[in-house]
């Protein structure tokens, strides 16, 4: 079996390939809208109300409308397919929840109205240090730390019993019911959703790249058109 570093490199290579393919697809859609008289790059500063600027407007509409909807619909499909898989009750997500934010940052976000952060801090408390988290499941903690470059915090839920059961199952927050809802989340090997993640990985990477490219062009077009 490939080591963590090899897996990471393979994943990065695959993502790069998918990113280039996604960008070419989007550029093809821009080209379909290109007026005959225009040969300049899409991100050129055109005169107001010119053919060039109208082309940019159409491309912006495409990004905000059709393309964003395609991404959203595909994401819903992926999440619907997740229902075909089952939690195996390993309790890792209760015992080793991770976030790129510290507890203080999450509390602040919750105070500012972030619903996810509010739910997260309503159940999870931070480990005192990384060694405490490592004692639970060292391979998983090492994998997550490696993949995130170390910028990660581990949490546990006091509602988890010694028998690895939720003591407040009926009232668990939505984030517990929905986990894992991000196909790019790093899952422990024991998780019942690993097969789902593996199967949809190329589509999830494609959607991730599309979102990044759509955001890039939306920002650049808005800048040149202002």
Residues that bind ligand SF4 (CB under 6 A): 87-94, 123, 157, 159-160, 166, 168, 172, 176, 179, 188, 191-193
| Cα distances (angstroms) measured from residue 198 to each of 82, 85, 139, 165, 176 | 11, 12, 19, 26, 21
Min dist CB 164 to ligand SF4, Å, is 8
Min dist CB 214 to ligand SF4, Å, is 30
Min dist CB 166 to ligand SF4, Å, is 3
Q: Which of 61, 26, 84 is nearest to 207 (CA)?
A: 26
Min dist CB 160 to ligand SF4, Å, is 4
Find out whether 57 and 225 touch, Cβ atoms under 8 Å: yes
Q: Which is nearer to ligand SF4, 22 or 156 (CB)?
A: 156
Q: Half-sphere exposure of 12 toward its Cβ, with a 13 Å CA cutoff?
A: 8
Q: Which is nearer to ligand SF4, 107 or 159 (CB)?
A: 159
Find out whether 116 and 175 touch, Cβ atoms under 8 Å: yes
Find out whether 160 and 91 touch, Cβ atoms under 8 Å: yes
In the chain, beta strands by DSSP E? 97-99, 125-126, 153-156
Min dist CB 155 to ligand SF4, Å, is 9
DSSP string of 192-221, one letter each residue: TTHHHHHHHHHHHHHHHHHHHHHHHHHHHH
Q: Which is nearer to ligand SF4, 60 or 194 (CB)?
A: 194
Q: Which is nearer to ligand SF4, 26 or 97 (CB)?
A: 97
Q: Which is nearer to ligand SF4, 25 or 185 (CB)?
A: 185
């Amino acid at each position: 079996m490939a080591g963590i570093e090899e897996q990471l490199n393979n994943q990065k290579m695959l993502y790069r390939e998918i990113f280039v393919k996604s960008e070419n697809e989007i550029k093809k859609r821009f080209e379909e809208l290109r007026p005959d008289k225009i040969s300049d790059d899409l991100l050129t500063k055109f005169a107001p109300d010119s053919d060039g600027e109208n082309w940019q407007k159409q491309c912006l509409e495409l990004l905000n409308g059709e393309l964003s909807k395609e991404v959203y619909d595909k994401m819903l499909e992926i999440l619907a397919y997740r229902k075909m898989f089952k939690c195996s009750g390993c309790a890792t997500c209760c015992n080793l929840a991770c976030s790129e934010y510290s507890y203080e940052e999450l509390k602040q976000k919750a105070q500012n109205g972030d619903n996810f952060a509010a739910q997260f801090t309503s159940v999870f408390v931070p480990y005192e240090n990384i060694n405490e988290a490592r004692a639970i499941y060292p391979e998983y903690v090492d994998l997550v730390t490696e993949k995130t470059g170390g910028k990660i915090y581990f949490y546990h839920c006091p509602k988890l019993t010694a028998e690895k059961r939720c003591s407040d199952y009926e009232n668990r927050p939505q984030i517990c019911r929905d986990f894992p809802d991000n196909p790019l989340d790093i899952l422990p090997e024991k998780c019942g959703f690993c097969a789902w993640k593996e199967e949809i990985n190329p589509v999830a990477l494609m959607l991730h790249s599309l979102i990044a490219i759509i955001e890039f062009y939306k920002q650049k077009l808005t800048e040149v058109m202002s």
